[in-house]
Amino acid sequence: MPDAAIRKLSSFAPLSPADIALLSSLLSDPKMVGPRTALSREGEPPGEVQVVLEGYACRYKMVSNGGRQIVAHLVPGDFGDLHGFLLDRMDHTITTLTTCQIAFIAKADMQRLFERPQIAKALWRSVLVSEAVMREWLVGMGRRTAEQQISHLVCEILFRLERVGRANKHRFEFPLTQNELGDSLGLSTVHVNRVIQGLRDAGLISWRGADLQVLDRTRLMALCDFDPLYLHPNLVEQARAGAA
């Protein structure tokens, strides 16, 4: 099911049937990867480009005191490392969180993708949007409360999954551990736990296991001042209005 990646890229630039066929062929042989498996390690030269087709993965860095900071989440449709394609060594580690379906694209095949103008445009736009996501994380860690940060991340993932057709109404798969959530936001597990309980008590979300539901999207977005503009949702004007 390469559809998440193709949906994602199609939302960044209109792709021709030939573009889509090329992408499909390069994504057609994904591998199953178990949970908590490193795909690429800090300090090592990058290998093939990984594309997450199913499951959750993340980028992180360790700090000397033993702490971990997750700096990005990868959901279906996301590319692991366009970085590796141009840089010498990884400056962070990429790992799966859950069991994932990952397609691996060799550098030569990446060249073929970048030779197609619309695919190249979509890929670079996706890089720029992932930068925008990082900027938003910086804003959260610097200037938002723990409650707002957690709410903001929930909104972010909701919007990103909707973009690739992986959210059902206000419900989506959110398989993070409270510990991983803390490592993402710079919070302790204990504090994450207490804040989550607050959000549940406030009737904003329900979260059991990997099943997360946003019960009151409007209030949740208001709470954390969520403005989806930074995800650049409307880069491709939906000419396909009215399609089933």
179 binds, among a copy of itself, DNA, none (CB under 5 to 8 A by kind): DNA
Q: In degrees to the nearest 10, what's the CA dihedral of 71, 65, 96, 50?
A: 60
- How far apart CA 61 and CA 94 sit, in angstroms, is 9
Using the contact rule CB under 8 A, the part of the chain among 16-24, 68-76, 95-103, 163-171 near a copy of itself is 68-76
H/E element, 159? helix 146-163
Query: Of 35, 116, 139, 215, which lies in the binding site for a copy of itself, with binding defined by CB under 8 A?
Result: 139
Q: CB of 177: closest distance to DNA in angstroms?
A: 4
202 CB burial (10 A radius; 0-12, 13-18, 19+): middle
Which CB, 188 or 213, lies closer to DNA?
188
Tell whether residue 69 is a contact of a copy of itself (CB under 8 A). yes
Both tokens of 228, joined, read 């989806």
Quick note: the x/- pattern for a copy of itself over 99-138, rule CB under 8 A, is ----------------------x--xx-xxxxxx-xxxxx
Query: What 3-state DSSP class applies to 39?
Result: strand
Nearer to a copy of itself, 108 or 244 (CB): 108
DSSP-derived secondary structure for 184-202: HHT--HHHHHHHHHHHHHT
Q: Pick the piece of the chain touching DNA (CB under 7 A) from 2-10, 47-55, 157-165, 176-184.
A: 176-184
**Exposed e or buried b for every residue in 110-142, given b needs 16+ CB within 10 A?**
beebeebebbebbbebbeebbeebeebbeebee
Please enumerate, as own/partner, the contacts of 233-237 that have beta carbons within 8 Å and a separation of 24 or more: 233/11, 233/159, 233/163, 235/11, 235/12, 235/13, 235/125, 236/10, 236/11, 236/12, 236/13, 236/14
> Does residue 143 touch a copy of itself according to CB under 8 A?
yes
Question: Which of helix, strand or coil describes residue 9?
Answer: helix
- List the single partner that 168 binds among DNA, a copy of itself, none, CB under 5 to 8 Å by kind: none
Q: Shortest approach of a copy of itself to residue 85 CB, angstroms? A: 9
179/213 with CB nearer DNA: 179
Three-class secondary structure of residue 33 per DSSP:
strand
> Which residues in the 131-160 window bind DNA by CB under 7 A?
145-147
**Contact status: 41 vs a copy of itself (CB under 8 A):** no
- Footprint on this chain of a copy of itself (rule: CB under 8 A): 43, 59, 61, 63-65, 67-69, 71-72, 82-83, 86-89, 91-92, 121, 124-125, 127-132, 134-139, 141-144, 183, 185-186, 225, 229-230, 232, 234-235
- Footprint on this chain of DNA (rule: CB under 7 A): 145-147, 177-179, 182, 186-191, 193-194, 196-197
